[in-house]
Amino acid sequence: MSNQSGWKPDMEKGATSPALDAPGLGGAVRGLVHEEPLLFEHGSKGRCGVSLPAPGAKAADDLPAALVRGGIEGLPELSELEVVRHFTRMSLWNHGIDTGFYPLGSCTMKYNPKSSEALARLPGFAGLHPLAPAEHAQGALELMYALERALSEIAGMDVTTLNPAAGAHGELTGMMVIRAWHAAHGNPRKKVLIPDTAHGTNPASAALNGYACVQLASGADGRLHPDTVAAAMDDDVAAIMITNPNTLGLFESDIAEIARIVHARGGLVYGDGANMNALLGNARPGDMGFDVIQYNLHKTFATPHGGGGPGSGPVAVKATLAPFLPLPVVVKEGEQYRLVTDPKERPRTIGRIHGFHGNFGMMVRAWAYLRELGPEGLKATSDLAVLNANYVRASLQGDYNLPYQTDSLHEVVFDDTAQKEAGVTTMDVAKRLIDHGFHPPTIYFPLVVHGAIMIEPTETESKETIDAFVAALKAIAEEANRDPEALKASPSKPFRARLDETRAARKPVLRWTPGMKV
């Protein structure tokens, strides 16, 4: 049996290196999954995709030069079908939430309802020019205004900017606003306090605003303690940046006291709102003492996520910070909506931080999602996200070590202490999960947990899926004791087996060869 590339598939079960039959064509199959040669290894001389006249032939004179073949050395010569199969096959290698469970802790890889997609594609939204005059864009402006109001309400804040394009961009914007606020009060200050559980984007956003970052140690219970904050707090501190729940999935129960300590010395409290999936409809950062938070619409509000596509990181603030927010801003005057774009109208604005209005398509999706769920649905979302994480915690606590014993919110962190004696690490567990058909969770983050395995199932997964995932992790824990060497050689099913994560990103191995060492 051979496929179109001339390969003889190796039918042996679990084979790691299918037979290489035709060197130079580079490829193999497992079932219907094709390894794919480089485009340059497909095709043959003189083959072409469309039947255009040869260069120099009479009819070719009428064709635009760009369409006439010939003269370009070294490009592959391919049929249309070869090109279509090449790219379609490779597209099937992508993992996404639409293909499988994706339990990345901190990333909230939840399902994005297709109804939101359909609405974002409405021609009136999708085709609207960003420079269309306000009278021709009233519906879009109304949507932005309504979303801004809703996000402010959900966070317990006063005003929100929709402009930032990602969580990190929102953090940068929020810290620019904080710096501008301090500067307007006479002194931008010098330092920002950040707990050791923080996402790496927090210190990056503070540093990009010229602040020195002071790391705060969390307690043995995984939480930040008021004493630690009080000891570090002085008149040079511009702000503290906290995620609540933190990246261990634990609620910072002393947040109100921490905010009081920071405010008493004239500092502000920044909330990394990437974990809002745990709080929706249950608690509001504005009520806990936060002055600024960023949302990640591509996490919490189910807009598409990852792959370098557009994100959206709206920033919600208390009224005192509103004059500093970036432009443009949508305002409502009577029954009309208008865009404020001129800094003369907002002299204290930090300026523009994105072209036009930000990623408008994300706003349409988020608004659709909000309207579909309503307040009750939003609350149910976080209730179920928390329930699912605690279900994973309870199901696996005999198999993997829990560095913090208390209940989780929306995500749960294990480590590899229980597998240590067998010489099995978090990396081995993550790699073996691929053989079980699951994308590995976030690993080795947060940094405060050595060998962290950070699982966020989200509310959109069924009990059957979570049970299957738990069963896979239990099987791996059992294998760690029985056959650690096999685990260390995993995964065995993908064509590219045990990639070195760092090298794979910097020096991608495009050409597969059987038994290749990568």
Q: Where on the chain is the footprint of ligand PLP (CB under 6 A)?
A: 106-107, 166-168, 199, 201, 243, 247, 272, 274-275, 296, 311, 313
Cβ proximity to ligand PLP: between 195 and 289 the closer is: 195
Residue given tokens 């003889």 in the structure block? 8
CA-based R_g, the chain, Å:
27
CA-angle at 481, arms to 478 and 484, nearest 5° = 105
Tell me: cis bond preceding 375? Omega within 30 of 0 counts.
no
Tokens of 406: 């208390």
CA-angle at 36, arms to 34 and 38, nearest 5° = 170
* Nearest Cα to Cα of residue 352 among 139, 195, 130: 130
Cβ proximity to ligand PLP: between 304 and 311 the closer is: 311
Phi, psi (degrees; rounded to nearest 5) at 51: -90, 75
We find the least distance from the C-beta atom of residue 409 to ligand PLP, in angstroms, to be 13
We find the least distance from the C-beta atom of residue 399 to ligand PLP, in angstroms, to be 26
Cβ proximity to ligand PLP: between 161 and 419 the closer is: 161
Distance CA 275, CA 280 (A): 10
Cβ proximity to ligand PLP: between 9 and 174 the closer is: 174
We find the least distance from the C-beta atom of residue 202 to ligand PLP, in angstroms, to be 7
The strand pair at 315-317 and 159-161 is best described as antiparallel
Distance CA 407, CA 429 (A): 23
Cβ proximity to ligand PLP: between 199 and 284 the closer is: 199
Burial track 445-482 (b if 16+ CB lie within 10 A, e otherwise): bbebbebbbbbbbbbbbeeebbeebbebbeebbebbee
Cβ proximity to ligand PLP: between 275 and 490 the closer is: 275
Contact indicator for 224, 245 with CB cutoff of 8 Å? no
We find the least distance from the C-beta atom of residue 124 to ligand PLP, in angstroms, to be 28
Q: Which residue is nearest to ligand PLP (CB)?
A: 167
We find the least distance from the C-beta atom of residue 194 to ligand PLP, in angstroms, to be 11
Name 28's bridge partners.
none
We find the least distance from the C-beta atom of residue 246 to ligand PLP, in angstroms, to be 8
Q: DSSP class of residue 192?
A: E
We find the least distance from the C-beta atom of residue 120 to ligand PLP, in angstroms, to be 18
Contact indicator for 469, 440 with CB cutoff of 8 Å? no
Cβ proximity to ligand PLP: between 107 and 269 the closer is: 107
We find the least distance from the C-beta atom of residue 276 to ligand PLP, in angstroms, to be 10
Cβ proximity to ligand PLP: between 290 and 495 the closer is: 290
Phi, psi (degrees; rounded to nearest 5) at 271: -110, 125
